[in-house]
């Protein structure tokens, strides 16, 4: 196979840039206080940098990102005539924009700036090896300088933003986000899977810590959504597919039929005659509904619906028409069909909410075996005036008012048997519920069995103290098991009071399991549709846990509510407004700047074979068979670079991630001690971010690894790997997002294919396949990254000089010929 020409290594030591101007590189090594200087010698690194070719100045400074640091760089650009700037500091995911802007202000094209990550990828992960960390930092700086030599000025393009938003999920977060955006003047599509908006908040009786009636404060917002001219509410609807990119998403929504038209007056006559009954989901199955029903009294839209799985009329054959007979307005229409709606939106806010933990698997607690053991959500319905008992507290077994009630905390939370995290809301919810019982049935004895009470929010501690004052008994120690007296239905709770180290047995009339929150069962679908990463717990991951808490790593998509993590109503609303505001900022600008990293095709080299177009996840490459030429649609190209390795003719140039730039990095790292080093290709979105997370978490791993960032693992040309082996590098790691989670839809599938081919090739040359590793590492898998490097260190220590030589021989022919 004719492999395309590669720039030879001699040209990778060029001293002039493309325009013939001599290179003048400035290197700045940041101490980051003690964050970097604490574990490696920054002065030494700067001294080393000053010895590199083309480096005209190298400085170290305490905080390079500070104003004075930036001013220093700007002054040097102006006065010393720097035409490349390298900053060795934190991850480019944090401060690349800062320094690019500083360069721009000093008249240097921002794309002539390069960063060496010596904090997340060096000082923080090698806290106890000053020598090793310093040597690695030198290497990283050398690699950055080598890449900087090949940087070229780029011009960013702007893409217009559709001034419409999609909100997925109509719980309180989705409601708030929709209203905020609608009020700001944007068209909002609110897509809700259920028949009404309202979500979990609509089910709850009172809210903590203020004891407001939940539906009383929610219902006005729900009706505002229903009548707002800027909101198009779509219930019984789900997002089917999402295409496009920031500012220009194309969304297909599937709307299930309601079988009742909008003219419905919500009179309820239809349901009276309906012969079919089913458990009412909104009441957690504690009451029944008909096949034609309204979800709840305050539902928006206030329209009945027919549950076709229950209705006697199937496949358009009308066997029973009692509802349509009863309906005076003739709203019932059995002929309604499922429909698909295509929307164009600029921003998306994901408010898909959460599920509650099902404690049935904790058999010792007897849930679903003993009628008087219920969950906290069921209790909310029991005590709610709109619920099955009209708000009267009764226990399910005999409808009597319970005299003794137990709350069991942390059910389904903080446990390896269920969910390992704290569900955030259960402590306060229980205290609120206990006070509600105390308020209406003051003689009830209330016990709360807990491990820790977490009353951390505004007004929370007050509420806890109030509950204590009002006689709610808090016992530290969760019951080991609940037994039932089958005759009376009473419960016996057996456990240990850990503060007294005494065993207890309490007889209770009713036990309420304070169940935790977990990601929605269908969150994997949303995750796939929108390519969202999630943390190990399954909740969606924010772009930055502190500074971009409602952004997702995907531009134009934001998060709010429990989809991001367990939280209470106030936090959900706060986050929803924040997400709406972030979306508003994007849309009010009206355009978005696209990074100048897209693919360019050299028409002189292109033969129009179309290989690139076949692997492009966005269909952004159009091939003109007559002109024998491929063309990149700039607005659709996301810059993943998957096309470039596919081109046999070297016709594709990835701007800012060019072959020369990456090969120069490999050259620099292979210059000394290659046979002990690991080259790691990390994709910007998952594995590079994962490696950053390893650093932020201060997880330690061996110093041998050097990371080269690409936008996607699809950019990793097998030729890069071969080149690395030809230079005697011991091992190569190619890492990217998990299959299905790729930031570029499915570009990483190409990575996998290419690595498979490389393994075969290595085997043919008698090389140890272990020297090339492929790993899927998400942005949340910091631990996995460090483990991967540990494992590779083991592999490297087993790679003999002979093996290295074999690798050099196997691949160097190409390396030299190129």
The reply on whether position 416 binds another protein by CB under 8 A is: yes
Distances (CA, A) of 184 to 176, 187, 458, 586, 587: 12, 9, 29, 13, 10
Q: How many CA atoms lie within 13 A of 625 on its CB side?
A: 0
Q: Where are the alpha helices (DSSP H) in 232-321?
A: 269-273
568, 428 in Cβ contact below 8 A? yes
Residues for the chain: how many in total?
Answer: 818
CB atoms within 10 A of CB 702: 20
* Binding residue for another protein, selected from 302, 326, 473, 494, defined by CB under 8 A: 494
Tokens for 66?
């500070």
Size, binding site for another protein by CB under 8 A: 22
* Binding residue for another protein, selected from 162, 298, 313, 418, defined by CB under 8 A: 418
| Interface stretch with another protein, choices 391-399, 438-446, 472-480, 549-557 (CB under 8 A) | 472-480
19, 108 in Cβ contact below 8 A? no
Q: Name the minimum Å distance from CB 515 to another protein.
A: 14
Subset of residues 375 to 414 that bind another protein, contact rule: CB under 8 A: 410, 414
CA-CA-CA-CA torsion sign (368, 372, 378, 382): positive
The reply on whether position 477 binds another protein by CB under 8 A is: yes
* Binding residue for another protein, selected from 105, 152, 355, 496, defined by CB under 8 A: 496
Among 707, 684, 773, smallest CA distance to 96 is for: 684
Q: Name the minimum Å distance from CB 418 to another protein.
A: 8
Nearer to another protein, 290 or 454 (CB): 454
Nearer to another protein, 503 or 627 (CB): 503
Nearer to another protein, 503 or 536 (CB): 503
Tokens for 190?
């609110």
Nearer to another protein, 334 or 407 (CB): 407
The reply on whether position 361 binds another protein by CB under 8 A is: no
Q: Where are the alpha helices (DSSP H) in 638-706?
A: 659-670, 687-696
- Helix/strand/coil for 66: coil
Q: Name the minimum Å distance from CB 506 to another protein.
A: 11
Nearer to another protein, 179 or 410 (CB): 410
The reply on whether position 495 binds another protein by CB under 8 A is: yes
Nearer to another protein, 494 or 696 (CB): 494
Compute φ and ψ for 593, nearest 5 degrees: -80, 130
Give 61's strand partners: 30
Nearer to another protein, 328 or 361 (CB): 361
* Binding residue for another protein, selected from 452, 461, 462, 522, defined by CB under 8 A: 452
The reply on whether position 516 binds another protein by CB under 8 A is: no
The reply on whether position 228 binds another protein by CB under 8 A is: no
* Binding residue for another protein, selected from 501, 546, 547, 802, defined by CB under 8 A: 501
The reply on whether position 498 binds another protein by CB under 8 A is: yes
Q: Name the minimum Å distance from CB 496 to another protein.
A: 4
The reply on whether position 415 binds another protein by CB under 8 A is: yes
Nearer to another protein, 10 or 416 (CB): 416
Nearer to another protein, 331 or 373 (CB): 373
The reply on whether position 359 binds another protein by CB under 8 A is: no
The set of residues, in sequence order, having a beta carbon less than 8 Å from that of 310 and lying 6+ positions away, is 276, 278, 291
DSSP annotation of 240? E
| Interface stretch with another protein, choices 184-192, 489-497, 543-551, 752-760 (CB under 8 A) | 489-497
Q: Name the minimum Å distance from CB 410 to another protein.
A: 7
Nearer to another protein, 417 or 458 (CB): 417
Q: CA-CA distance, 748 to 712, in Å (whole number)?
A: 7
Strand pairing report for 404-411 and 621-624: unpaired
Subset of residues 709 to 728 that bind another protein, contact rule: CB under 8 A: none
718-726 and 748-764 helices cross at what angle (nearest 10)? 40
In angstroms, how far apart are the furthest CA atoms of the chain?
Answer: 95
* Binding residue for another protein, selected from 330, 399, 417, 521, defined by CB under 8 A: 417
The reply on whether position 485 binds another protein by CB under 8 A is: no
Q: Name the minimum Å distance from CB 452 to another protein.
A: 8
The reply on whether position 451 binds another protein by CB under 8 A is: yes
The set of residues, in sequence order, having a beta carbon less than 8 Å from that of 597 and lying 6+ positions away, is 154, 639, 654, 655, 656, 657, 711
Q: Name the minimum Å distance from CB 497 to another protein.
A: 8
Nearer to another protein, 364 or 462 (CB): 364
Cis check for the bond before 301: say yes or no (omega within 30 of 0): yes
Among 473, 539, 532, smallest CA distance to 508 is for: 473
Radius of gyration (C-alpha) of the chain in whole angstroms: 31
Nearer to another protein, 330 or 416 (CB): 416
Nearest 5 degrees, angle CA 298-CA 301-CA 303? 90
565: left (phi over 0), alpha (psi -120 to 50) or beta: left
Among 338, 315, 261, smallest CA distance to 292 is for: 261
| Interface stretch with another protein, choices 65-73, 142-150, 494-502, 705-713 (CB under 8 A) | 494-502
Q: What is the dihedral of CA 713, 717, 719, 724, to 10 degrees?
A: -30
Task: Return residues touching another protein (CB under 8 A).
Answer: 364, 410, 414-418, 451-452, 476-481, 494-498, 501, 503
């Amino acid at each position: 196979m004719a492999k395309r020409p590669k720039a030879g290594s001699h040209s990778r030591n060029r001293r002039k840039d493309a325009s013939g101007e001599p290179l003048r590189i400035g290197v700045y090594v940041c101490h980051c206080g003690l964050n970097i200087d604490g574990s490696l010698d920054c002065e030494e690194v700067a001294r080393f940098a000053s010895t590199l070719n083309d480096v005209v100045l190298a400085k170290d400074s305490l905080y390079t990102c500070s104003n004075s640091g930036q001013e220093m760089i700007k002054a040097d650009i102006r006065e010393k005539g720097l035409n490349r700037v390298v900053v060795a500091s934190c991850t480019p995911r944090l401060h690349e924009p800062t320094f690019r802007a500083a360069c721009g202000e000093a008249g240097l094209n921002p794309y002539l700036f390069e960063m060496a990550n010596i904090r997340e990828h060096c000082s923080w992960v090698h806290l106890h090896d000053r020598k090793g960390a310093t040597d690695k930092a030198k290497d990283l700086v050398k690699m950055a300088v080598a890449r900087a030599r090949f940087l070229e000025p780029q011009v960013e393009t702007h893409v217009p933003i559709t001034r419409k938003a999609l909100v997925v999920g109509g719980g309180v977060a989705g409601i708030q986000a929709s209203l905020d955006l609608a009020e700001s003047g944007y068209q909002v599509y609110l897509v809700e899977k259920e028949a009404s908006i309202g979500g979990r908040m609509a089910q709850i009786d009172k809210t903590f810590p203020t004891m407001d009636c939940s539906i009383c404060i929610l219902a006005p917002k729900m009706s505002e959504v229903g009548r707002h001219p800027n909101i198009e509410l779509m219930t019984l609807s789900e997002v089917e597919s999402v295409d496009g990119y920031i500012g220009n998403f194309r969304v297909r929504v599937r709307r299930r039929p309601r079988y009742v038209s909008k003219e419905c007056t919500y009179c309820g006559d239809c349901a009276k005659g309906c012969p079919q009954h089913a458990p009412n989901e909104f009441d957690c199955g504690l009451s029944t509904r008909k096949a034609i029903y309204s979800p709840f009294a305050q539902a928006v839209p206030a329209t009945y619906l027919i549950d076709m799985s229950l209705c006697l009329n199937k496949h358009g054959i009308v066997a029973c028409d009692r509802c349509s007979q009863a309906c005076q307005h003739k709203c019932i229409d059995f002929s309604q069909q499922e429909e698909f709606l295509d929307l164009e939106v600029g921003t998306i806010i994901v408010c898909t909410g959460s599920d509650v933990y099902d404690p049935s698997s904790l058999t010792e607690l007897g849930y679903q075996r003993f009628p008087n053991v219920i969950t906290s959500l069921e209790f909310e319905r029991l005590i709610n005036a709109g619920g099955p008992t009209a708000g009267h507290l009764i226990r399910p077994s005999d409808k009597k008012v319970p005299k003794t009630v137990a709350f069991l905390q942390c059910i389904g939370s903080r446990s390896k048997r269920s969910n390992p995290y704290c569900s955030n809301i259960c402590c306060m919810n229980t205290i609120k519920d206990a006070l509600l019982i105390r308020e209406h049935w003051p003689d009830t004895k209330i016990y709360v069995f807990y491990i820790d009470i977490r009353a951390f929010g505004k007004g929370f501690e007050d509420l806890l103290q109030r509950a204590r004052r009002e006689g709610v008994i808090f016992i530290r120690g969760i019951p080991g098991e609940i037994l039932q007296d089958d005759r009376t239905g009473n419960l016996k709770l057996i456990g240990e009071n850990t503060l007294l180290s005494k065993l207890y047995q309490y007889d209770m009339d009713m036990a309420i399991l304070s169940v935790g929150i977990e990601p929605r069962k269908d969150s994997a679908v949303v995750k796939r549709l929108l390519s969202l990463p999630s943390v190990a717990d399954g909740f969606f991951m924010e772009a930055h846990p502190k500074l971009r808490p409602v952004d997702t790593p995907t531009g134009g998509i934001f998060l709010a509510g429990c989809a991001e993590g367990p939280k209470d109503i106030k936090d959900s609303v706060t986050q929803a407004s924040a997400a709406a505001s972030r979306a508003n900022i994007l849309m009010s600008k009206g355009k978005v700047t696209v990074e100048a990293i897209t693919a360019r095709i050299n028409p002189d080299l292109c033969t129009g074979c179309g290989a690139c177009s076949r692997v492009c996840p966005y269909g952004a490459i159009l091939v003109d068979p007559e002109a024998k030429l491929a063309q990149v649609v700039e607005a659709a190209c996301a810059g993943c670079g998957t096309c470039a390795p596919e081109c046999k003719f070297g016709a594709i140039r990835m701007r800012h991630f060019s072959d020369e730039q990456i090969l120069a990095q490999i050259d620099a790292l292979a210059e000394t001690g290659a046979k002990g080093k690991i080259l790691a290709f990390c994709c910007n979105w998952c594995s590079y971010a994962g490696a950053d997370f390893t650093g932020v978490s201060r997880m330690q791993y061996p110093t041998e690894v050097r990371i080269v960032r690409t936008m996607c693992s699809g950019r990793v040309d097998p030729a890069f790997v071969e080149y690395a082996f030809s230079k005697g590098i011991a091992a190569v790691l190619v890492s990217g997002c998990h299959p299905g989670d790729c930031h570029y839809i499915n570009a990483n599938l190409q990575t996998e294919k290419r690595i498979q081919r490389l393994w075969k090739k290595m085997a043919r040359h008698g090389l140890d396949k272990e020297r090339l590793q492929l790993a899927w590492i998400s942005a949340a898998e910091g631990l996995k990254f460090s483990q991967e490097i540990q494992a590779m260190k083991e592999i490297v220590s087993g790679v003999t000089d002979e093996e290295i030589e074999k690798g050099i021989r196997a691949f160097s022919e190409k390396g030299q010929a190129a």
